[in-house]
Chain A
Amino acid sequence: MNRFNRHVLSAAVSAVLLGLGGLAHAENTIKIAVAGPITGPVAQYGDMQMMGAQMAVEQLNAKGGVNGKQLEAVLIDDVCEPKQAVAVANQIVNDKIKYVVGHLCSGSTQPASKIYEDEGILMITPAATNPAITQQGYKMVFRTIGTDDQQGPTAGHYIADQIKPKQMAVIHDKQQYGQGIAEEVKKTVEAKGVKVAMFEGVNKGQTDFSALCTKMKSENIDFVYYGGYHPELGLILRQCREQGFDAGFMGPEGVGNKDISAIAGPASEGLLVTLPADFSADPANADLVKAFKDKNQDPSGPFVMPSYSAVQIIVDAIKGAKTEDPVKLAGYIHKHSFDTPIGKVAFKENGDLKEFQFVIFKWHADATKTPVK
């Protein structure tokens, strides 16, 4: 009994101490949660997101922060798992953080966004492109990237107008993001009279695609669109090329990552990818690009600048609206436009950007990319 009491006492004391610590901290910093994959198969994209957000926090702090307070980026790992994302969102609620830059994968952004909406937390995703996320009638949810119903048609029109395949295959990974964009592409090309001879899903984490490659080869498929992420597409490319299947491949921004060349090697040469425009090539961003390069970081990844912009929008809104209340900030963001590294941005009622452009790039075996005219 005695021992039990002592444990209770020590737990209570430490809880009080921790609580006080938290309070003391909250007074002079503004915390922004950056939620995305730090570990797991798609952590490379998380790197881009964290890198952009941290650079924004650093530069804004150097300019004196906001309202005399310093910003603090709290990096949280959701592994791109929907289940984990819910736990992360609850953690953010419990930690009383009021702003979130994230999540990254559409599948994990969707369940987390409901929690933020219910709890009045401002969320800006720099990467999740599935249209359904902003179709829930939420007021607290924004994104600084385009959607798959813009990206899908961009890819679809290019395929139908420039490549003109006779027998096309559309493959996806059965996830919200991958299947969503695959369906958009299928719809667009079919409306232009391209025959989609195969529409199939593979498993996330699958490693053997030899049977699929054989099937595409025997069906005389001459072009493949893949909706999903690079780990699976890398292996599909490698295994299909080995079997002598030489059709062209195309994918969304989820495959546009240096690792696709590490996995597929020479087979990644010529892969077409739709990506946000390369904001790091914009002369207006020259100083920012230099700041990244000074830290030996690569600013050309698709989510770096959108993530930087998300942080900047939160801070500009706090300054402009003269409040830290996330609900009022959301209202302010809906009504105003912001100058960011991804251009001058304004938001629609549902939280999507009014304008966003996807550009088609050709990928090379040495992991570089060149824009396609």
Chain B
Amino acid sequence: MLEFSQQIINGLTLGSIYALIAIGYTMVYGIIGMINFAHGEIYMVSAYIGLLTVTALTVQFGVETVPLILLFTLVVSIAITSAYGWTIERVAYRPLRGKPRLIPLISAIGMSIFLQNYVQIGQGARDLSMQPLISGGWRFGPEDGFQVYLSYMQVLIAVVTVGFMTALTLFIARSRLGRACRACSQDLTMTNLLGIDTNRVISLTFVLGAALAAVAGVLISLYIGKINPFIGFEAGIKAFTAAVLGGIGSIPGAMLGGVILGLSESFASAYLLTEYKDVVAFSLLVLVLLFRPTGLLGTPEIEKV
């Protein structure tokens, strides 16, 4: 039972990261019906910004207050990464608006390769690593037996994830811009005719997605402590899977999909073999899509007349 709860903690931590990235995929898809394959790279860029900022603060300026470092790193990373998200949309996708779907998709793949190589040239192709900023945690269970370990970092990941997701959900549900987002996702042309600047809304979508990926990137560089220019690919594929699993286009779906994917990987590793964790995760995806082609929380796309 104790092992089981430890595996749930492991899975939820992993799932939170997937969910944060998955939202970027799902929001872009919901509004312009396009898969932004460069999104994984956005996350990778933010992991770099996170690691470099933390190192600069602690080593260069000797800051020791952990909450201050954390807050500053998050703000810097969100700001720069959002700028990346905005620029990518402006440069690689906006000129292709209204073209057949495949064209922006190829452009996205190109952007992804560009970003990978750009970071590789700028920062080197080698692993960068960092010792944990926040260490320690709580232990539960018998002194001489199996103890469940919940680290402060894992709690931080959960809290930050839930916080940002609540903020996003409130933003989409309550604010004027959020309403514009929802309108765009229902019918882009009609929304445009009604006098809403849809280009602005689409830019906003990219910025929001990038901001959440930035949070994930900072958290991962603090939690794992080892990054390289290639981490965006795997994380991107996993998050994309999470988005499809939950129902692409649905924000709660992306959150649910991320958590389910994280938990299934963790359980597969625990009760089967570690080498099967991806097999199990992706079989689950196939199964869900066989019975619910729109994903767990997705709604079928109605042909627009």
CA distance A171 to B234 in the complex (A): 21
In-complex Cβ contact of A214 among B131, B270, B278 (8 A): B270
CA distance A311 to B5 in the complex (A): 56
In-complex Cβ contact of A211 among B126, B225, B270 (8 A): B270
* Cβ contacts under 8 Å, B228 to chain A: 41
Known: A205-B230, A244-B149, A263-B225. A212 touches B126 (CB 8 A): no
* Interface positions of A from 36 to 51, Cβ below 8 Å from B: 39-41, 43-44
User: How distant is B259 from chain A, measured CB to nearest CB, in Å?
Assistant: 14
In-complex Cβ contact of A174 among B125, B231, B275 (8 A): B275
User: How distant is A95 from chain B, measured CB to nearest CB, in Å?
Assistant: 23
In-complex Cβ contact of A263 among B129, B135, B266, B275 (8 A): B129
Contact call B13/A217, Cβ cutoff below 8 A? no
Known: A41-B127, A43-B125, A201-B275. A214 touches B7 (CB 8 A): yes
CA distance A43 to B230 in the complex (A): 14
Residue B224 interfacial (CB < 8 Å): yes
Closest B residue, CB atoms, query A239? B224
Cβ proximity bits B249-291 to A, threshold 8 Å, 1 near / 0 not: 0000000000000000111011001110110000000000000
* Cβ contacts under 8 Å, A211 to chain B: 7, 10-11, 265-267, 269-270, 274, 277
CA distance A205 to B232 in the complex (A): 11
Q: How many residues of B contact A (CB 8 A)?
A: 41
* Cβ contacts under 8 Å, A263 to chain B: 127, 129, 225-226
In-complex Cβ contact of B126 among A41, A205, A235 (8 A): A41
Contact call B125/A39, Cβ cutoff below 8 A? yes
CA distance A243 to B13 in the complex (A): 14
Known: A207-B226, A235-B224, A238-B225. A212 touches B120 (CB 8 A): no
* Cβ contacts under 8 Å, A205 to chain B: 230-231, 234
Residue A259 interfacial (CB < 8 Å): yes
Cβ proximity bits B213-256 to A, threshold 8 Å, 1 near / 0 not: 00000001000111010110010000000000000000000000
Residue A231 interfacial (CB < 8 Å): yes
Residue B164 interfacial (CB < 8 Å): no
Closest A residue, CB atoms, query B275? A201
CA distance A355 to B132 in the complex (A): 43
Known: A200-B273, A201-B274, A238-B225. A40 touches B125 (CB 8 A): yes
Contact call B127/A231, Cβ cutoff below 8 A? yes
Contact call A262/B129, Cβ cutoff below 8 A? yes
* Cβ contacts under 8 Å, B275 to chain A: 174, 200-203
Residue B3 interfacial (CB < 8 Å): yes
* Interface positions of A from 149 to 190, Cβ below 8 Å from B: 171, 174
Residue B191 interfacial (CB < 8 Å): no
Contact call A212/B226, Cβ cutoff below 8 A? no
* Cβ contacts under 8 Å, A238 to chain B: 132, 225
Chain B CB count within 10 A is highest, among A201, A208, A212, A217, for: A208
Closest B residue, CB atoms, query A260? B129
User: How distant is A51 from chain B, measured CB to nearest CB, in Å?
Assistant: 16
CA distance A66 to B118 in the complex (A): 42
Residue B14 interfacial (CB < 8 Å): yes
User: How distant is A83 from chain B, measured CB to nearest CB, in Å?
Assistant: 15
Residue B139 interfacial (CB < 8 Å): yes
Residue A242 interfacial (CB < 8 Å): yes
Contact call A242/B149, Cβ cutoff below 8 A? yes
Closest B residue, CB atoms, query A235? B226
Cβ proximity bits B121-143 to A, threshold 8 Å, 1 near / 0 not: 00011110101100101010000
User: How distant is A171 from chain B, measured CB to nearest CB, in Å?
Assistant: 8
CA distance A244 to B136 in the complex (A): 11
Contact call A44/B11, Cβ cutoff below 8 A? no
Contact call B274/A242, Cβ cutoff below 8 A? no
Closest B residue, CB atoms, query A40? B125
Residue B199 interfacial (CB < 8 Å): no
CA distance A244 to B228 in the complex (A): 27
Residue A210 interfacial (CB < 8 Å): yes
User: How distant is B156 from chain A, measured CB to nearest CB, in Å?
Assistant: 14
CA distance A262 to B11 in the complex (A): 26
Closest A residue, CB atoms, query B5? A214
User: How distant is B230 from chain A, measured CB to nearest CB, in Å?
Assistant: 7
Contact call B269/A212, Cβ cutoff below 8 A? yes
Known: A244-B139, A244-B149. A234 touches B270 (CB 8 A): no
Query: What would 13 A/B residue contacts be, using CB atoms closer than 8 Å?
Result: A40-B125, A44-B126, A200-B273, A202-B274, A205-B230, A210-B10, A210-B13, A211-B266, A215-B3, A215-B269, A218-B146, A238-B225, A263-B127
Interface residues of A (CB under 8 A from B): 39-41, 43-44, 171, 174, 200-203, 205, 207-208, 210-212, 214-215, 217-218, 231, 234-235, 238, 242-244, 259, 262-263, 265
Interface residues of B (CB under 8 A from A): 2-3, 6-7, 10-11, 13-14, 120, 124-127, 129, 131-132, 135, 137, 139, 146-147, 149, 151, 220, 224-226, 228, 230-231, 234, 265-267, 269-270, 273-275, 277-278
Given contacts A208-B14, A211-B267, A214-B10, 18 further A-B contacts (CB under 8 A): A40-B126, A43-B125, A174-B275, A200-B275, A201-B273, A201-B275, A205-B230, A205-B234, A207-B220, A207-B231, A211-B269, A211-B274, A235-B224, A235-B226, A238-B132, A242-B137, A242-B151, A263-B127
A-B CB proximity, top 9 nearest: A39-B125, A211-B269, A201-B275, A210-B10, A218-B3, A211-B266, A263-B129, A214-B6, A200-B274
